A and B are shown apart, each in its own frame.
Chain A
Amino acid sequence: MFNKTTGIVTGIVSNLVTVKTNGPVAENELCYITLDGTPLLAEVIKIKGDLASVQIFESSRGLKNGDPVEFEGKMLEATLGPGLLSSVYDGLQNNLTTMSGVFLKRGEYTAPLDHEKLWDYTPLAKPGDKVIAADWLGEVKEGWLPHKIMVPFTFEGEYRVKSIVPPGQYNVDKVIAVLVNEAGEDVEVTMTQRWPVKVAIKAYREKPRPEKIMETGVRCIDTCNPIAEGGTGFIPGPFGCGKTVLQHAIARQGEADVIVMAACGERANEVVEIFTEFPELIDPYTGRKLMERTTIICNTSNMPVAAREASVYTAMTICEYYRAMGLRCLLLADSTSRWAQALREMSNRMEELPGADAFPVDISAIISNFYARAGMVILNNGEKGAVTFIGTVSPAGGNLKEPVTESTRKAARCFYGLEQNRADQKRYPAVNPIESYSKYLEYPEIIAYLDSQMGQGWVEKVAKSKNLLRRGREAYEQINILGDDGVPVNYHVDFWKSELIDFTFLQQDAFDPVDAVCSMERQKYMLNLLLDICDRDLEFDDFEKCRDWFKELINDLRQMNYVEFHSDAFKQYEAKLSKLLEQHDK
């Protein structure tokens, strides 16, 4: 056993502590600062001579110069094994459900996994097999998911399976296999492994381009700007524009095996909503309880700031772990701006030269490195797994020209810009239909996929609907300048076509049991229907007739959105619609 480096506290400003050390320390190494007998976790963020600047993951109240520090010789790690799903963790992966007391206690660190629980284990490898890191050795059932027990990601080189335990019930600490490394030494493998959160897990064969879309049931995403499985996207928006509602809708309805939600510096009540409602709600794809596929990483805005940064990395590491099992994971982080602000706070306290808006100068690199950890991968055994990542951004003052939004725009492939004006008019989700984009609509793989799923030429139809919206906006501006009577009636027709698409397709009631989730089949039906209507030869005597006719049409189609697809009520609205169309044709 080597001697641990130790030190003493020599300076404190809020959560930045300076430590005089007596030996080697590493960047991002963990240490414990002892306050009145309680060790508090901290992380090295800067070293100068024998002075280490560490950020403490707790309140520094009561800490004194001269308090002892002990360095751990390792970075912040996540504990990976069966039982991660349905858990509620803080940013450092402490289990919040097993903590004592109502208030969070400083220095109370709880185990991420249940060490008593027995899992039904089945071996997948057999003695003699040659294996490398991330190869599957066995499997347990975690809820309905096949949770693979893998060769730890930290193992380098090739190993031979020497022995493996027979099927049975074991806890997470059970040695399930003994491997022999190239040097001929025995290495034991349990159901648990650890991985440093700030390092990407790269134990896969290759990371190809995404090839299919991930359904969310939200029309303005799936149809207008779809996100690929293994893709990245971000949702910027001023407060009160429905970022959280949209993100929760994606979490409920996203087509994924595993959902990890990182509540990073946001409101505690939003997390409460998830763990109150998700155990009751049903996953639309499997019929199981939503909570069974969900892990919550929660570092709310009043929890220690330093752990905010850790929370998004912990969440990503858990996703990468499940991806290595050949599963489709979705990571939602709300909000990446809070994480950037945590970096800014530390950078300011260390008196570093600031970049734009006092953010650290490398903020852009940090953000793009993080987004790059998402993606679809082909595992060593040929199976596919994916991590799809959607982050929210909270731009200061709603101004999208600020460093976090701009850096994220460079890193993410989908942009769902929430617009104050739409939110003010209660046009939810307030995703701006014209400014928002999905780069995936340009991918030949995705175009081919959509052609096969939604009918030939689907992407062109989507582009056409966007164009109708754009024309409608231009017409609206003209009408505003010249007045209702000052423009030809066809300007009004253009405007109302865009309102038709807006009200009946873009807008969606996230709180209505039927309208909240829209299947791809229904989206296909709706878009085709709307384009058919817009393609008609629509002529009116005056703008008031035009408006009245469209209003009635919109009302009928909105009512239709509230009833089950192809139900009797749906057919009645369909019939009413044909009547309206006929009426006009006469």
Chain B
Amino acid sequence: MTNKAYQKIYTKLDAITKATVSLRAAGVANDELAVVHGRLAQVVKTKNETITLQVFSGTEGIPTNAEVTFLGAPPTLKTSDQLAGRFFNAYGQPIDGGPEVEGEEREIGGPSVNPYKRRQPSQLIPTGIAGIDLNNTIVSGQKIPFFADPDQPYNQVMADVALRADVDKIILGGMGLSNDDYLFFRQAFEGAGALERIISFVNTTEDPPVERLLVPDMALTAAEYFAVDKNEKVLVLLTDMTLYADALSIVSIRMDQIPSKDSMPGSLYSDLAKIYEKAVQMPDGGSITIIAVTTLNDGDITHAIPDNTGYITEGQLFLRADSDSGKIIIDPFRSLSRLKQLVQNKKTREDHSQVMNAGVRLYADAQNAKTKLENGFDLSDYDRRCLAYAKEYATRLLSIDVNITITEMLDTAWELFGKYFSKAETGIKQSFIDTYWKGN
């Protein structure tokens, strides 16, 4: 953060709320950073001479005669290869005891890539998890969140996915991460010997909530450096975006804005889109893929946060505890990868999409059979076969602890089809049946 040679110091605050302070000042730019009583703040509103500042770490203890200086620029991050392997806080300051990073200072939350300069994502990101690779294949340049209840092991799954994915850099943006989870990520990355390709920006539950608002922009500014300048494949992990949105609503309500659904700001869609749309496939091979976590309240996806997220991201991965198999599975009904058809049957075997659809349709039949069973009706032979299939399908393919190649996933699915069903019951295109059918 550059200091101006001459800095005017203001010492009179006109108004203070929990998240903002207002004062009279001149020559101040929108989005500019300031220091209020030693804490970082940002200009969010100007009206005549009155400037309103959002104080990231909260306003507790700030007196009306606090010193305010303006820094003349919006938040920045110093970008260079030195970022690799380092841990930073929400302001981009090292928290790993290492030296300051030297490099070009860039404004965070910068402009968007011209859509015409993008390329269509076409590179498969294999994760070994069949619930993803088989049913919801992820492609580089995609943005996709996990929708999960707070008690589910989403951070572990995300760490697995990140470490198995074939990428050059992994950037973790942690918002409201518990200290235990922060240490978990650190150990997982160190244990995999992957520390030098990982960069972390972390706001933990011990840090003030409004600081979280800086984390995604910091992480994505670093990501753009590696993806656009260095043509690298970058995977960005953002956890937990629900806590980010909560911080947005705190600020907006403190600024007296009319809330829309679920007391979220009316601009929630645009605010989230600005982050997720940074996912991009560049023409020169660089890419930013975003995998995020949106925690749900008891599986409710109609809440404004998951709802707006779903309209922005290219699908979602839904974690669910499955009582039949006793495993955490990736729910095949509610999960979706919108970009899967860009790689399925093209980068994977020709029968991929048909096998995927048949597998899920038969699993749906099993759910119907289950409903019948619960209602005390007799099951037909087909129902019983469906139920047996569903259990094995969930255990061998949907479970998050699976780690096999896509070809193995397809072969497993064919094996299950042959074991439990007739050819006609699968409804798969004849030519694939002729080639791949296992069993009678």
Binding site for B on A (CB under 8 A): 10-14, 18, 59-66, 88, 96-97, 99, 101-106, 238-240, 244, 265, 267-269, 271-273, 275-277, 298, 300-303, 305, 335, 338, 341-342, 344-345, 348-349, 351, 354, 357-358, 394, 396-399, 424-426, 480, 483-486, 511, 544, 547, 551-552, 554-555, 558-559, 562
The one of A97, A354, A398, A552 that contacts B258, using a Cβ cutoff of 8 Å: A354
Please determine whether A552 and B424 come into contact, CB atoms closer than 8 angstroms. yes
Given A103-B110, A559-B430, A240–B310 Cβ distance below 8 Å?
yes
Do B269 and A272 touch (CB < 8 A)?
no
Chain B residues with CB below 8 A from A275, complex form = 116
Q: In the bound complex, what is the Cα–Cα distance between A11 and B47 (angstroms)?
A: 4
- Chain A minimum-CB-distance residue to B302: A397
Provide 28 A-B residue pairs closer than 8 Å at the C-beta atoms, listed in order of the A residue.
A62-B30, A63-B30, A102-B114, A105-B111, A238-B310, A239-B310, A240-B315, A265-B269, A265-B273, A267-B277, A268-B112, A271-B115, A301-B269, A341-B266, A345-B266, A349-B257, A358-B266, A396-B307, A397-B302, A397-B303, A397-B304, A398-B307, A424-B334, A484-B372, A486-B377, A511-B353, A544-B382, A559-B429
Across the two chains, which residue of chain B brings its CB closest to A354?
A: B258
In chain B, positions 101-125 with a C-beta closer than 8 Å to chain A are 107, 110-121
Most chain A CB inside 10 Å of its own CB: which residue of B312, B316, B338, B360: B338
Chain B contacts for A62, CB-based, 8 A: 29-32, 74
Instruction: Give min CB distance, B77 to chain A, whole Å.
Output: 15
Q: Measured between C-beta atoms, what is the minimum distance from B52 to chain A in Å? A: 9
Partner of B273, one of A99, A301, A358: A301
Known: A62-B31, A358-B259. 14 other contacts (CB 8 A): A12-B45, A13-B47, A61-B30, A88-B116, A102-B113, A269-B120, A276-B120, A302-B112, A358-B266, A396-B302, A484-B378, A485-B377, A485-B378, A551-B425
Q: In angstroms, how far is the closest chain A Cβ from the Cβ of B140?
A: 11
Whether B297 sits at the interface, judged by CB under 8 Å, is: no
B314 and A104 within 8 A (CB): no
**Of A12, A271, A424, A562, which one neighbours B364 at CB under 8 angstroms?**
A424
A426 to B121, CA, bound (A): 24
B269 and A397 contact, CB distance less than 8 A: no
For residue A269, give the distance in angstroms from its CB to the closest CB of chain B: 6
Q: Which residues of A contact B429 (CB under 8 A)?
A: 559, 562
- CB contacts (< 8 Å) of A300 on chain B: these are 112, 115, 277
- Kindly report which residue of chain A lies nearest to residue B315, judged by CB atoms: A240
Q: Which residues of B contact A562 (CB under 8 A)?
A: 429
Known: A96-B116, A272-B120, A551-B424. A358 touches B258 (CB 8 A): yes
A484–B113 CB distance below 8 A:
no
Q: How many B residues touch the partner, as a band?
A: 35 or more
Of all A-B residue pairs in the complex, the 4 with the closest CB atoms, nearest first, are: A397-B302, A301-B273, A302-B277, A483-B377
Known: A399-B302, A480-B371, A558-B427. A103 touches B112 (CB 8 A): yes
Give Cα distance in the complex from A244 to B334, angstroms: 17
CB distance from A114 to the nearest CB of B (A): 15
Q: Taking the complex as formed, is B440 at the interface, i.e. its CB lies under 8 A from any CB of chain A?
A: no
Given contacts A358-B266, A426-B360, A483-B375, contact A103 B113 (CB under 8 A): yes
**In the assembly, what is the distance between CA of A159 and CA of B425, in Å?**
71
Task: Say which residue of B46, B269, B427 sits within 8 Å of A11 (CB atoms).
Answer: B46
In the assembly, what is the distance between CA of A244 and CA of B371, in Å?
32
A11 to chain B: which residues have CB within 8 Å? 45-48
Residues of A within 8 A of B47 (CB): 10-11, 13, 18
Cβ contact within 8 Å between B277 and A483? no
Docked CA distance A580–B146 (Å): 46
Asked if B4 lies at the interface with its beta carbon under 8 angstroms from chain A, I say: no
Between B31, B279, B315, the greatest number of chain A beta carbons within 10 A of the residue's beta carbon is seen for B31
Smallest Cβ-Cβ distance to B255: which chain A residue: A13
A65-B378 in contact (CB<8A) = no
Which residues does chain A contribute within 8 Å of B371, judged by CB atoms?
480
| Complex-state Cα separation, A239 to B272, whole angstroms | 15
Q: A300-B115, A555-B424 are in contact. Are A397 and B258 (CB under 8 A)?
A: no
Q: Write out the residue numbers on chain A whose beta carbons fall within 8 Å of the beta carbon of B267.
A: 14, 305, 345, 348
